Amino acid sequence: MGGILRLWFLQIRLAFFLVVPLVAFTILHSTHWSGVQGLTEQALSGIADPQDITLPLLRWRGIKPGKRTHFWLLRGAVLMVALLAFAYSAFLYSPTEPIMLYLAITGAIFLGWSGTVIIGGLYWDRGTTRAAWVTAIIGSVFTLTSFLLQRMNDALDKGGGPFFGWFGESGPVSDAAQWIALHMPDGKETLGLTMFICAGTYVVISLVQNRRFDLDALLHRGVHAIEGEVQIGAARVSRLGRWLSFTQEHTRLDRRTRRLRRRQRRLISP
């Protein structure tokens, strides 16, 4: 019964992802919703869109692409990712370890550093752009290097050769290389190492730069709060909640919703 409820719950979520885009497209294009369209355009026009990935990289070279050029750059990036995934899976990939370990190390190429950058950028006033870029580069390079070394070692290990086939079969260098080959971290260990290295890199570089950012302005808190945007609950925040930076925005309705969803998960769990 739990499996059946879980399947129905998944179908409802999939229907939600299908229906919401259709509703949004209808509201933004139908003449029956002209009033809502005006409010939506007014709200969207006030949102800054600096494009902090593509445009800064090109601006360093004195290139300022327009909207159409930027649009085609995004399309080209999506196409290249698709071609890379197809070519690798069709011609290069051969299973040498459990699938979950493989998914862990391939996912670490993005997940290993993205969590540090997102959490540090949104919730730490000392986080800097340079620290985020260095963390992203180090995390990606470390994971890709580990992934390639594992693939090479697995391929050459079947032939009985030493570590990566770069050394002879005797001597201290070969002994050290073979020890490294035997203790090569798997996918989950690589993911954990990447997270640890990226977190340390982000914190160290941010502290060295010693800059502070006004998070209240970013999150619309304090003197930057927008009147009527946030509903403040009547309940007092506990000492533990204040220590964890909880605010009165967590209303009684939020707590009831959380309890309801918890019961729902228990019902649909097998």
List, for residues 201-249, the tens digit of each pLDDT value: 999 999 998 888 887 777 777 777 777 666 665 567 778 777 777 776 6
Same domain, 162 and 213: yes
Establish if 15 belongs to a structural domain. Answer: yes
Alpha-carbon distances of 161 from 179, 182, 242, rounded to whole Å:
13, 13, 59
Establish if 46 belongs to a structural domain. Answer: no
Same domain, 69 and 191: no
Question: What is the reported pTM?
Answer: 0.61
Q: What is the Cα–Cα distance from 87 to 73, expressed in whole angstroms?
A: 21
Establish if 42 belongs to a structural domain. Answer: no
pLDDT digits (tens, 9 = 90+) for 93-116: 767 677 777 777 777 888 888 889
pLDDT at residue 200, as a whole number: 92
Q: Which domain holds residue 76?
A: 52-93
Query: How large a percentage of the chain has pLDDT more than 70?
Result: 70
* SS3 category, 231: coil
| Residue 5 pLDDT level (bands cut at 50, 70, 90) | low
Establish if 45 belongs to a structural domain. Answer: no
Same domain, 73 and 118: no
pLDDT at residue 155, as a whole number: 62
pLDDT digits (tens, 9 = 90+) for 148-205: 777 777 666 665 554 455 555 555 556 666 676 677 777 788 888 889 999 999 999 9
Provide the number of structural domains found in the chain.
4
Q: For tokens 């930076």, what's the residue?
A: 245
What is the DSSP-derived secondary structure letter of residue 251? -
Same domain, 112 and 139: yes
Q: For tokens 């919730």, what's the residue?
A: 123
What is the DSSP-derived secondary structure letter of residue 232? P
